[in-house]
């Protein structure tokens, strides 16, 4: 059974204070690791897919990295509009074709 | 291009009532899923479909039915609503197996 653990559960930052969110996973044959952003009252919005260890992807102030056991979402010089819940999901080679989600990290960036 | 459309946005049901949550996508995506999201529990998969006529159970399927008669539509039926089904329900679709999912805006369901 695929498992995803995200930490911390909540993170408060000052504007401009860089930090990282962690996603640890256990999966039988990783096919893909996904990052999503979810704003209050809305559905998750897709950010990145990472396929293999060592891969990195960037979007504005966000950079996602992947190792064989975990992924990090680095947030550089965050702004208040980066405040959201960030979700991680994994898809393995066994079981269903559908990703398993972690519980998310709630990020608040204060001006 | 509307993406994934869910209706209704809000619903209150009495225990024992049945209803259907509607989900439609206009992107010709083969993969569609239903998730429920509860505080502290994250997104849990209810049912999913890999194409028209093909559905399968996810992590928490009890009390729910689905069908996929067309590529566009993937309705979720609650057979006999229970307070434990109070949740926010999201429908999502994807073009291919390892592509990111496009989510709808959700249906907030309260069962009293």
Residue of B nearest to A46 (CA): B100
Closest CA to B7 of B81, B91, B72: B91
Q: Model confidence over A28-58: pLDDT tens digits?
A: 889 999 999 999 999 999 999 999 999 999 9
- Show which of residues 46-85 on chain B sit within 8 Å of chain A, judged by CB atoms: 48, 50, 56, 58
Q: Which residue of B has its CA nearest to A103?
A: B42
| Chain B hits for A51, Cβ within 8 Å | 98
Average the pLDDT over A88-97 and give the result.
82
Average pLDDT, whole number, for chain B? 95
How many interchain CB pairs under 8 A, A with B?
60
pLDDT at B82 over 70: yes
Can you give the pLDDT at residue B97? 78
Q: For A67-80, what is each residue's pLDDT tens digit?
A: 999 999 999 999 99
Would the pLDDT of A95 be above 80?
no
A108 touches chain B (CB under 8 A): no
- B90 and A102 within 8 Å at the Cβ level: the answer is no
Q: Does B100 touch chain A (CB under 8 A)?
A: yes
pLDDT band at A96 (very low <50, low <70, confident <90, very high): low
User: CB neighbours of B101 closer than 8 A, spacing ≥ 6?
Assistant: A34, A44, A46, A99, B31, B33, B92, B93, B94
CB contact under 8 A, B42 and A46: no
Q: For residue B59, give the 3-state DSSP assignment.
A: coil
Nearest CA distance, A111 vs chain B (angstrom):
27
Read off φ and ψ for residue B83, nearest 5 degrees.
-55, -30
Reported confidence tier of residue B1, pLDDT bands at 50, 70, 90: low
Distances, alpha carbon B95 to alpha carbons B8, B21, B107, in Å: 24, 22, 22
b (16+ CB within 10 A) / e for A53-64 = eeeeeeeeebbb
């Amino acid at each position: 059974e695929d498992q995803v653990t995200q930490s911390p559960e909540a993170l408060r930052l000052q504007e401009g204070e860089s930090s990282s969110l962690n996603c640890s996973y256990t999966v039988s044959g990783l096919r893909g690791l996904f990052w999503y952003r979810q704003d209050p009252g809305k559905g998750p919005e897709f950010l990145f897919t990472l396929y293999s260890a060592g891969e990195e992807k960037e979007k504005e102030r966000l950079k996602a990295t992947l190792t064989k056991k975990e992924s990090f979402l680095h947030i550089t010089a965050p702004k208040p509009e980066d405040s959201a819940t960030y979700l991680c999901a994994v898809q393995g080679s066994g079981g269903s074709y559908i990703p398993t989600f972690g519980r998310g990290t709630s990020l608040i960036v204060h001006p | 291009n509307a993406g994934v459309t869910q209706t209704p946005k809000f619903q209150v049901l009495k225990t024992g009532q049945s209803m259907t949550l509607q989900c439609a996508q206009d992107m010709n995506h083969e993969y569609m899923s239903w998730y429920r999201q509860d505080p502290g529990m994250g997104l849990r998969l209810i049912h999913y479909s890999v194409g028209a006529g093909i559905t399968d159970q996810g992590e928490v399927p009890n009390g729910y039915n689905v069908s996929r008669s067309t590529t566009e539509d993937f309705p979720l039926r609650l057979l006999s609503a229970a307070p434990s089904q109070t949740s926010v329900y999201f429908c999502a679709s994807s073009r291919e197996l390892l592509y990111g999912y496009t989510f709808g805006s959700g249906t907030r369901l309260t069962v009293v």
